[in-house]
Amino acid sequence: MERIKTDICIIGAGSGGLSVAAGASQMGAQVVLIEGHEMGGDCLNYGCVPSKSLLASAKAAYGMTHPGDLGIAPAEPQVDYAAAKAHTRRVIETIAPVDSQERYEGFGVRVIRDWARFVSPTEVQAGAISITARRFVIATGSRPFVPPIDGIEDVPYLTNETLFDLSERPEHLLIIGGGPIGIEMAQAHIRLGSRVTVLETGKALAAHDPECAAIVLNRLREEGVEIVEGAQVTRIGSEDGSIIAETADRTYRGSHLLVAAGRRVNLDGLDPEAGNIACDKAVRVGDDLRSVTNRRVYAVGDAAGRLQFTHVAGYHAGIVVRSAVLGMRWAKARQDHLPRATYTDPELAEVGLGEEEARRRYGSKLEVVRSSYDHNDRAIAEGRKTGTIKVLVAGGKPCGAAIVGAHAGELVGMWAMAIANGQKMSAIANTVLPYPTFSEINKRAASGYFSPRLFDNPRLKTFVGLVQKYLP
């Protein structure tokens, strides 16, 4: 057996693991990176990249039939589902070299393509190679959670890991799960010509602001997606070539089934007990992202049991590099400034506290300011007036923001920056933005916070009257 001693051993070559590997190796640390499956992880191969690529195809098709009042006649698109899937593969192939084994070996990283397991608190084994390291980083990501529904293993079902290999357009796609993955794929497929039914046990898009989520769900229903909330699927079966999903009061039939019922962290086969690594649904870590039981071990991304987003894994990687590579043990991970987005049309994006939590925390000190897309000149010009922004303010600083509308995922970045850096609403209001842009929606919301203080202030009006009277 080959034996390796290294500074940092990273398990998992997804977004978090690759970011740690790139940063640590280029700063001079010896790095071993272990990956038993695909370089780039879920995001590149089965998640963010292919899903947004398919949504782009769907958006193009929808734009042909719904050009709006722009003087363009609607036209019926010729949708080639297999070609749309080929587009997603080309996008993956274009991005893949950035995450490739060859690129990381160019950084000096030893890349081992095998599955890893702990054999002691200081040693990992991957195939016929034993790796002893000063620090370990668990970046194993997550996989689709398939609920234990009666009969589900007896029918061919899809997850995000298999959906993008499908080249035949589903005639009627049943989706179990009304979270971001389920809702995004529902809109993509309705626009590409499928019938779509979404079955959600609770509330669809429950993790988002209810007011903003309702706008998205109403749009999907208008486009023809059947969204059934409070629908607990009790049995899955097949009949006459159709897949059947049964709930307490109804039976749904479809040609294909997509399971989008959440994620499960990949810890199987890792043998964390041998490494003295405490786990529940994920690795148990503190805000320093270090294992609470084995201080040699860090976890990032989904493996750390926090928000499950690619950009969060990248953020975690930066914390780990500062701590494990540069010795900045005071580096801590926050959550209050991390944005999240669902890429439907209209888009849905948030950062910071939700309104309910903010009211519990700040009570009567909380202020809510809003600005609508239909007051934005660029939105009016492009016929994209559906949308709103809601900003939660406490002590003159934003503590949360929710946006639904065109480019929401881009617009939320300004509020993420403000919250991350403790900026006041005046920082946004004082920013000069090019006209006409969607980003002016943010400034309008910030200005709306100050409007009553300026225009409904009797003392200020008295002062202005005196200034005008006596100013030379």
Query: In which residue are the tokens 């640390």 written?
Result: 29
Instruction: For residue 150, give the DSSP letter.
Output: B
Statement to judge: residues 12 and 131 lie in one domain: yes
- Given 290, 325, 360, the domain boundary residue is 325
Strands (E), 318-417: 340-342, 347-352, 366-372, 388-394, 397-405
Hey, what are 15's tokens?
């977004």
Q: What percent of the chain has pLDDT over 70?
A: 100
Residue type, 103: R
Phi-psi region of 284 (alpha: psi -120 to 50; beta: other; left: phi over 0): beta
Residue 188 placed within a domain: yes
Q: Measure the CA–CA gap between 439 and 418, rounded to whole angstroms.
A: 14
Q: Could you tell me which residues come within 8 angstroms of residue 452 by beta carbon, excluding any fewer than 6 positions away?
A: none
Hey, what are 446's tokens?
């910030």
Statement to judge: residues 358 and 346 lie in one domain: yes
Hey, what are 357's tokens?
């939590």
Statement to judge: residues 305 and 405 lie in one domain: no
- Binding residue positions for FAD: 52, 140-142, 302
Residue 306 placed within a domain: yes
Residue 75 placed within a domain: no
In tens, the pLDDT along 261-295 reads 999 999 999 999 999 999 999 999 999 999 999 99
Q: Measure the CA–CA gap between 310 and 15, rounded to whole angstroms.
A: 6
- Binding residue positions for NAD(+): 177-184, 200, 262
Residue 11 placed within a domain: yes
Q: φ, ψ for residue 38 (rounded to 5)?
A: -95, 135
- Give the CATH number for residue 387: 3.30.390.30
Q: Which helix (H) or strand (E) holds 159?
A: none
Statement to judge: residues 159 and 250 lie in one domain: yes
Of 368, 367, 349, 352, the closest CA to residue 411 belongs to 349
Statement to judge: residues 200 and 305 lie in one domain: no
Statement to judge: residues 211 and 344 lie in one domain: no
Residue 73 placed within a domain: no
For 202-219, the DSSP string reads S-TTTTS-HHHHHHHHHH
Q: Measure the CA–CA gap between 24 and 37, rounded to whole angstroms.
A: 22
Statement to judge: residues 32 and 137 lie in one domain: yes
- Give the CATH number for residue 139: 3.50.50.60
Radius of gyration in angstroms for the set of CA atoms belonging to the chain, rounded to a whole number: 25
Residue 32 placed within a domain: yes
Q: Measure the CA–CA gap between 108 and 272, rounded to whole angstroms.
A: 28
Residue 94 placed within a domain: no
- The runs of H, that is alpha helices, within 321-424 are 355-362, 377-382, 408-420
Q: Give the pairing of strands 297-299 and 129-138.
A: parallel
Q: Give the pairing of strands 263-265 and 347-352.
A: unpaired
Cα-based distances in Å from 370 to 185, 363, 449: 29, 18, 9
Statement to judge: residues 119 and 244 lie in one domain: no
Statement to judge: residues 307 and 393 lie in one domain: no
Looking at the 3D structure of the chain, how many domains does it have? 3
Hey, what are 93's tokens?
């192939």
Q: What is the pLDDT of residue 130?
A: 97
**Domain of 241, in residue numbers:** 152-262
Residue 22 placed within a domain: yes
* pLDDT, block means (10 residues), the chain with 472 residues: 95 97 97 96 94 97 93 94 96 96 97 97 96 98 96 96 95 98 98 98 96 97 98 95 94 97 95 97 97 98 94 96 94 95 98 96 95 96 96 97 98 97 96 96 93 77 81 80
Say what the pTM is.
0.93
- Binding residue positions: 52, 140-142, 177-184, 200, 262, 302
